[in-house]
Amino acid sequence: MASSAPTAAPSPKTDQAQQRSPFAGCAIMLILASVALFLISVSAYSLLQQNKEIEKFTSPTPMALSPVSIEEQEAELNALHARLTAFRSQIVDRPDEPAEIALNVTDLNFILATAAPLRDYKPYFLVKEIREGQLIADHYRPMNGMPGSDEKRYLNSIATLKPILAEKTLVFQVEALDVENATVPLEFIAQIPPYRFGLEQQSDALYSPVLSALTSMEAKPNQLILRRIPGQVPSSTVANEQVDSAMQRIIRVLVAGLIFLIGLGVFLSFRAKEKREKAGAA
């Protein structure tokens, strides 16, 4: 019966050389470090290019809006308040009956100028026209400059807004931005979150009953119509989570890459220390 030759035991010198090899286990780390540096470089370049593109359709100063004057408009304001109060009373006191209110351009600007929940929007909007399915408004949007800088830019435009009733809120989705002597990319417009009214008023005793009962919001020529039709369910929905801006995504990649490099440096320092200790013990 043939006997197999005994397998040669690995040389202690060979094992010791492998343990002390400065390249053992480092190849993958070097590849990962190269990938991280590449991602950071690409992200930084993209951030610079994006900032250059944004400068093409933004300005260093905001546009001058001429807000509607409410001085000596007491009669008009009282009439609007009476209509809004009657609309709310009809919704609350007669829930089985239809209710409707039509607001024109002046009404909307009066509401923007006087309604406390809209104080954050007041400096940036002036409604100019109501079209079929759209609101047209003079609008400027403050924007930050490069990360780490105090630079401010302003997107001054004529905004086209689509009114949507969704999730007990009044939503105005940005559809187009008309900027003088410039074009705003559609990809940029698509990332602008919609303007919402009602998120913070869900538990407000004044606004909540109306927001909960509304079944439609519709833009017709020269009027924005709010309705409550008993038994009708609103069909429109808008996601709560909007797409983050490209700049935010790039910044996240940069931060992730920096954290990875720091972790990699710590890991390699521990590996080097471990190898020195093994070499000293040998």
Q: How confident is the model at residue 122 (pLDDT cuts 50, 70, 90)?
A: confident
Q: Which residue has the higher pLDDT, 114 or 37?
A: 114
DSSP symbol at 59: B
Inter-CA distances, 118 with 22, 26, 96, 99, 110, Å: 65, 58, 30, 23, 11
Structural domain spans, the chain: 74-247
Predicted local distance difference test score (pLDDT) of residue 86: 96
Inter-CA distances, 19 with 251, 272, 278, 282, Å: 40, 12, 8, 10
C-alpha to C-alpha distance for 156 and 178, rounded to whole angstroms: 9
The DSSP code sequence of 60-108 is SS-----PPP-TT-HHHHHHHHHHHHHHHHHHHH-TTS-EEEEE-HHHH
Q: How confident is the model at residue 126 (pLDDT cuts 50, 70, 90)?
A: very high
Does the pLDDT of residue 129 top 50, yes or no?
A: yes
- Whether 38 and 263 have beta carbons less than 8 Å apart is answered as no
Q: Which amino acid is at 6?
A: P
Predicted local distance difference test score (pLDDT) of residue 123: 81
C-alpha to C-alpha distance for 14 and 43, rounded to whole angstroms: 44
Longest Cα–Cα distance of the chain, Å, equals 118
Does the pLDDT of residue 10 top 60, yes or no?
A: no
The per-residue pLDDT for range 192-204, each reduced to its tens digit, is: 889 888 878 888 8
Mean pLDDT for 19-34 is 60
Other C-beta atoms closer than 10 Å to the C-beta of 64 total 8
Range of lowest pLDDT (19-28, 63-72, 112-121, 135-144)? 19-28
Identify the residue whose tokens are 């109501």: 130
- Whether 20 and 279 have beta carbons less than 8 Å apart is answered as yes
Predicted local distance difference test score (pLDDT) of residue 144: 75
Q: Which residue has the higher pLDDT, 116 or 282?
A: 116
Q: How confident is the model at residue 132 (pLDDT cuts 50, 70, 90)?
A: very high
The per-residue pLDDT for range 63-110, each reduced to its tens digit, is: 988 878 888 889 999 999 999 999 999 999 999 999 999 999 999 999
Tokens of 30: 């070097």
Side-chain half-sphere of 10: how many Cα atoms within 13 Å?
A: 7
DSSP symbol at 8: P
